[in-house]
Chains A and B, each alone.
Chain A
Amino acid sequence: MALGPESRGAADANSQLAPPGRTSGGGSLRGFGPGQPSPGGWSGTCGRVGRAIGRVGGNGLGMLVAVLVAVPVLTVFWTLTQDSGGTWAHLRDSGLLTRYAWNTVWLGLGVGLLAGLLGTTTAWLITSCEFPGRRLWHAALCLPLAVPTYLSAYAWTDLLQGSGPVQVALRSWTGWERSQYWFPEVRSFSGAIVILGFGLYPYVYLAARAAFREQTGSALEVSRTLGHGPWSSFFRVSLPLARPAIAAGVLLVLMETCAEFGAVSYCAVDTMSTGVYRTLFGLDSLTAAGQLASSLMVAVALLLGLEVFARRQARFHSATLTYRQQTAYQLRPVAGILACGLCSLPVLLGFVTPVAMFVWLTLQGGDRRASELFWGYAGNSFYLATIASLTAVALATLIAASRRGPQGWLMRVTAQLARLGYAVPGTVLGIGLLLPLTWFDHTLNRWIGSIWGPETRPGLILTGTVVAVLLGYQARFLAVSLGVIETSLARIRVTFGEAARTLGASPLRVLWSVHLPLMGSSLLAAGLLVFVDVVKELPATLILRPFDFETLAVRVYQLAHDERLEEASTGALAIIAVGLLPVLWVSYLLEPRSHASK
C-alpha cells in the first residue's frame, strides 16, 4: 500500500492544524479548561488571557449556580443564630417537634416504598414483557406526572367524603346510615401515603424505564446461560444494573415528599414542611420556621450523602457498541391481563379519577370567568416553565459535563448544593431568596440614586419582575435536571469522550458533538420534569411572584382555599392539560422507534 497523492493532500489539510502553542494563544482558547502556563512573550500573554477567560467562564458558571442555591439555604441556616423568642422551646416542649419529625419519616418510608414498587414494577413490565397495549400503557403511566398531588388530594377528598358522590350512592343503594359502615378516609395518614405514592411514582418509573431499556440483552442472556431463570436473572442482573437509576428516582420522590405542602396539609398530616408553614404563619415566627427548615435540610442532606455513596459504589458504563435489545417475554393471556391490571391501577388512581372528578365539577359549573382570565394565566405558567426548563437543562448539562473526569472542588460543591436545593421546601426557599433579593434591589437603588440622582433608579429589577421567580425555580429544580443528566452521562462510555479529545476536540466540542447526541432523550426527560414541576409549583411562586402576576397554580390554590372547588376545577384541569402536553410528547419520544438496523 502506498500513500497516494490524494491522501497526502488530506494529511496536508490536517496539518494546517498548526501545532498549538506555536500559534498565538488560539490553541489554548479552544481549551476550555486550564491550560499550561507558558513563559512570557506576546503569544504567552495571549494564551494566558485566553486561558483566564476559559477558567473564569467555567468556574464563573459554577460560582453563579453555587451562590444562587447557597444563598437561600444559608439564609435559612443563618436563622439558627437568631433568637426565636421562645417559639422553638414551645415547639420542643409541646411535642410538636417530635410529631413533625416522625410523621415526616413514616410518610417518607411509606411513599418511597409505594412509589418505588409501583415505578420499578411497571417499568420492568413495560420494558421486558409483551402484552396487549404495552406502548399505550407506557404513555398512560407517565400521565400522573401532570396531576399535582394537591389537586389529587382535593379531588379524592371531594369524591370520597361523607357528602361525596360515592358515599351518597352507597347509602342510597344499601339504605345504610353514615355510622353503620366503614369507609376509607382520604384526609388521613394512609390517605396521604396513597395519594403521594400514586402521584409521584412516575419519577421512579421514568428513571427505571430508561435504565432497563438501556441494558443490553446479552447481560440477561449470559445470566440465563449461567443457570438463572427469568426471576433470578431479574433480581441478580437487571435490578442491580438499574439500581442507581431507581435510587435516583426514589430519592426524587423522597425529596418531593419532604417538600410536599399542599396535599399533606389538606390531609391534615403534620410534617416538618407543614410545620414550617404553620410556624411561619400560625406562630408568626420566621426565625423558628427557618430553624425547623434547617433541621429538615440536615435530614435531607444525610439522604443525599447516602445516595452519592450508593452511586459511587455502582458506576456502570454500558457497552453501547455491543448493545442488543433484549427480547421481551411473551406473556400468556392470564398473565397479560394481570399485567394490564397492574399498569392500569396507578393510572386510574393517579390520573383518571382526579381528572374525571374535575371534568365533572367543571361541567357542573366550573369557573365562570374562565374565558377572560384563564388563557392569560396559562400563558404565564407556560412561559415561566419553558424558560426555567431550558435554563435548568443547559446549566445541568454544563455542570454534569464539568464533573466528568478530574474536577475541581467548586463543581463538586455546586452539584451537591444544587441537589440540596431541591430539598428546600418551597415556602422556605421563597423566604430564603426574598430576603437577600429585596436587600439587593434596595441597595442597588440607593447606590444608583446617590450617584446619578433619584430619577435614574432602576426600580425593583429582581423582586419586581419574574426574575426572582425564575431564580427560585433554578435553585429548586436544577436538581431534577441534574439528576437525570448525570445518570445519563454516567452511562456513556468514558472512551467516547477520550477518543474525541485525542481526535482534537476541545471539551466543549466533546460535549456538543458526542455527549449531547448520545444523551438525546435524557435531555428531553430532564427538561420535561422541570417543566411539569414549574407548572405545578405553588408556594415559592406565591411568595416570589411580582405583584399582580398570577399563574394557574396560584389561582387554583386561592379558589380551593376558599372552598370554591367547583370554580377551581377549571383551573385544575388547565394545569393538568398544560402539564399533559409535554408528558405525552416525551413519552412518545422516549419510546424506541424501530431503528433502521439492529
Chain B
Amino acid sequence: MPRSEPTESPARSSMPPAVQVDHLVHGYVRGLAVVHDVSLTVAAGQVHCLLGSSGSGKTTLLRLIAGLERPWSGEIWIAGERVESLGVHRPPEQRRIGYVFQDYALFPHLTVAQNVMYGMTVAPRGARRQAALEWLARVDLADRADAMPHMLSGGQQQRVALVRALARGPAVMLLDEPFSGLDMELREKVRQETLALLQAAQVATLMVTHDPQEAYVSADIISVMQNGRIVTQGSPDEVCQVTTLPSGLATVRVNPNAPKR
C-alpha cells in the first residue's frame, strides 16, 4: 500500500492541533477580502473563542474551516490532515467537524432523534437510534426523541443541534454564536451545560461570539477579530481588558469576577 499523500501537519507533534489555519484570505466580492491573512491554531481539547463585532469576518472564518466556502488562498489542517490548500478542497462532509449554526438548522421534516441520527452513516439503524437516544439522554431530551423540532423550546433546539454535531465524533466543534438565540438566564445555564458536554467529549472547540463576557467565561484562548484580522490573542485575562479590546466591544465591560467554568 503506497503512502496516500502527505497529510501530516507541519508541526510533527504527537497530538496534532485540532485546527490549524495558515494565512487564510477570503472575500465575497473580488478585491474586497473579509478575512485577511488569518492564522490560528486550536489545540486538541481546547476551547478557543473568536471574539469580534458583527462584520469582523469571524463567521466567514468558521465557514472556511467547515469547507462551506472556498478561500482565495491559505491552508487549513484539521486533526493533522490538510483539507484546504492550493488545489485542495475537502468538501464539508469529508472534514471531521461538527458545526452548530446560529439558527440551529434542525431539519424540520425529521424528528429530534432522526436529526441526531442524520450524521451517523455507518452503524445499522437500530444501533444508530440507540446511540441517538443516549446522546439525547445526556442533554435531558430523551423523552422528546420523537418530537418534531418546532415543538421544542429554543434552549432544547440548541441542545439537539449540539448533540447532532457531536454524535459524529468530530475532531473540532465549530459553534456560530450558539447562545445568541436564547434569553439571558437560559443562556448562562445552556452555556455551562454546553461547555461541560464539550469538555466531557474532549473535543476541541472554536466558538464565535460578539460577547466579551461570554468569551471570557468560556474560553481557554481568545482571538479578537477586527476587519478580518486577528488583532489580539491570548488568555481571557490578558485579552479582556477594556484597553485592548476594539472600540465596538469595549462598551461591554467584562466582569472579571464572573464564575469561570
**A42–B233 CA distance with the chains assembled, in angstroms:** 43
Select A14's contact among B79, B92, B103, B167, beta carbons within 8 Å.
B167
In the complex, A514 has a CB within 8 A of chain B: yes
What residues of B have a CB within 8 angstroms of the CB of A41 in the complex?
A: 2-5
What residues of B have a CB within 8 angstroms of the CB of A20 in the complex?
A: 90, 94
What residues of B have a CB within 8 angstroms of the CB of A513 in the complex?
A: 118
Select B105's contact among A4, A17, A499, beta carbons within 8 Å.
A499
A19-61 interface mask toward B, CB cutoff 8 Å, 1 = contact, 0 = none? 1111000011011011111110111100000000000000000
Name the CB-closest residue of A to B117. A503
**A227–B63 CA distance with the chains assembled, in angstroms:** 39
A480-505 CB contacts (< 8 Å) to partner B: 493, 495-496, 498-505
- Contact across chains for B90 and A17 when beta carbons are under 8 A apart: no
A496 to chain B, nearest CB (A): 5
In the complex, B87 has a CB within 8 A of chain A: yes
**A43–B7 CA distance with the chains assembled, in angstroms:** 14
Given known A31-B91, A43-B2, A496-B107, contact A503–B101 (CB-CB < 8 A): no
In the complex, B165 has a CB within 8 A of chain A: yes
- Contact across chains for A7 and B93 when beta carbons are under 8 A apart: no
**A319–B103 CA distance with the chains assembled, in angstroms:** 9
Select A30's contact among B7, B93, B95, B138, beta carbons within 8 Å.
B93
- Contact across chains for B119 and A504 when beta carbons are under 8 A apart: yes
What residues of B have a CB within 8 angstroms of the CB of A496 in the complex?
A: 105, 107
B157 to chain A, nearest CB (A): 8
- Contact across chains for A43 and B88 when beta carbons are under 8 A apart: no
In the complex, A172 has a CB within 8 A of chain B: no
In the complex, A63 has a CB within 8 A of chain B: no
A39 to chain B, nearest CB (A): 5
- Contact across chains for A10 and B138 when beta carbons are under 8 A apart: no
Given known A37-B88, A495-B105, contact A13–B131 (CB-CB < 8 A): yes
Interface range, A side: 35 or more
- Contact across chains for A321 and B4 when beta carbons are under 8 A apart: no
- Contact across chains for A501 and B92 when beta carbons are under 8 A apart: yes
In the complex, A177 has a CB within 8 A of chain B: no
In the complex, A226 has a CB within 8 A of chain B: no
- Contact across chains for B151 and A38 when beta carbons are under 8 A apart: no
One of B31-39, B194-202, B209-217, B235-243 contacting the partner? B194-202
Given known A35-B91, A502-B93, A503-B164, contact A22–B4 (CB-CB < 8 A): yes
Given known A10-B131, A10-B135, A19-B96, contact A504–B168 (CB-CB < 8 A): yes
B224 to chain A, nearest CB (A): 25
In the complex, A334 has a CB within 8 A of chain B: no
- Contact across chains for A501 and B91 when beta carbons are under 8 A apart: yes
What residues of B have a CB within 8 angstroms of the CB of A503 in the complex?
A: 93, 118-119, 164-165, 168
B138 to chain A, nearest CB (A): 6
- Contact across chains for A10 and B122 when beta carbons are under 8 A apart: no
In the complex, A330 has a CB within 8 A of chain B: no
Name the CB-closest residue of A to B101. A495
What residues of A have a CB within 8 angstroms of the CB of B89 in the complex?
A: 34-36
In the complex, B97 has a CB within 8 A of chain A: yes
What residues of B have a CB within 8 angstroms of the CB of A30 in the complex?
A: 93-94
- Contact across chains for A493 and B103 when beta carbons are under 8 A apart: yes
A502 to chain B, nearest CB (A): 4
In the complex, B77 has a CB within 8 A of chain A: no
- Contact across chains for B90 and A21 when beta carbons are under 8 A apart: yes
What residues of A have a CB within 8 angstroms of the CB of B103 in the complex?
A: 319, 321, 493, 495
Name the CB-closest residue of B to A320. B108
Select A505's contact among B90, B97, B118, B169, beta carbons within 8 Å.
B118
B102 to chain A, nearest CB (A): 8
What residues of B have a CB within 8 angstroms of the CB of A3 in the complex?
A: 200-202
Name the CB-closest residue of A to B120. A14
Name the CB-closest residue of B to A405. B68
In the complex, B23 has a CB within 8 A of chain A: no
Given known A320-B108, A504-B119, contact A36–B87 (CB-CB < 8 A): yes
In the complex, B44 has a CB within 8 A of chain A: no
A331 to chain B, nearest CB (A): 29
Name the CB-closest residue of A to B128. A13
In the complex, A302 has a CB within 8 A of chain B: no
- Contact across chains for A321 and B106 when beta carbons are under 8 A apart: yes
**A500–B106 CA distance with the chains assembled, in angstroms:** 9
Given known A3-B201, A597-B151, contact A518–B4 (CB-CB < 8 A): no
In the complex, B150 has a CB within 8 A of chain A: yes
- Contact across chains for B66 and A33 when beta carbons are under 8 A apart: no
Given known A10-B131, A20-B94, contact A498–B105 (CB-CB < 8 A): yes
**A400–B135 CA distance with the chains assembled, in angstroms:** 35
B261 to chain A, nearest CB (A): 13
**A4–B70 CA distance with the chains assembled, in angstroms:** 38
Name the CB-closest residue of A to B123. A13
A125 to chain B, nearest CB (A): 27
- Contact across chains for B106 and A498 when beta carbons are under 8 A apart: no
Given known A21-B90, A21-B94, contact A321–B149 (CB-CB < 8 A): yes
In the complex, B81 has a CB within 8 A of chain A: yes
**A505–B107 CA distance with the chains assembled, in angstroms:** 13
- Contact across chains for A502 and B68 when beta carbons are under 8 A apart: yes
**A500–B174 CA distance with the chains assembled, in angstroms:** 14
B233 to chain A, nearest CB (A): 26
Given known A495-B105, A498-B99, contact A10–B94 (CB-CB < 8 A): no
What residues of A have a CB within 8 angstroms of the CB of B157 in the complex?
A: 321
Interface centre among A3, A11, A517, A597 (most CB of B within 10 A): A11
- Contact across chains for A31 and B150 when beta carbons are under 8 A apart: no
What residues of A have a CB within 8 angstroms of the CB of B93 in the complex?
A: 30-31, 501-506
- Contact across chains for A518 and B109 when beta carbons are under 8 A apart: yes
- Contact across chains for A21 and B81 when beta carbons are under 8 A apart: yes
In the complex, A85 has a CB within 8 A of chain B: no
Name the CB-closest residue of B to A43. B4
**A275–B183 CA distance with the chains assembled, in angstroms:** 67
What residues of A have a CB within 8 angstroms of the CB of B178 in the complex?
A: none
What residues of B have a CB within 8 angstroms of the CB of A1 in the complex?
A: 138, 196-197, 200
Given known A17-B121, A495-B101, A498-B105, contact A36–B90 (CB-CB < 8 A): yes
What residues of A have a CB within 8 angstroms of the CB of B130 in the complex?
A: 6, 10
B119-159 interface mask toward A, CB cutoff 8 Å, 1 = contact, 0 = none? 11111000110110011001000000000111100000100
In the complex, A9 has a CB within 8 A of chain B: yes
In the complex, B72 has a CB within 8 A of chain A: no
- Contact across chains for B87 and A10 when beta carbons are under 8 A apart: no
What residues of B have a CB within 8 angstroms of the CB of A518 in the complex?
A: 107-109
**A34–B91 CA distance with the chains assembled, in angstroms:** 9
5 closest Cβ pairs, A-B complex: A10-B131, A503-B119, A495-B105, A502-B99, A499-B105
A-B contact pairs, 7 of them (CB 8 A): A3-B201, A21-B4, A21-B7, A41-B4, A41-B5, A43-B4, A503-B165
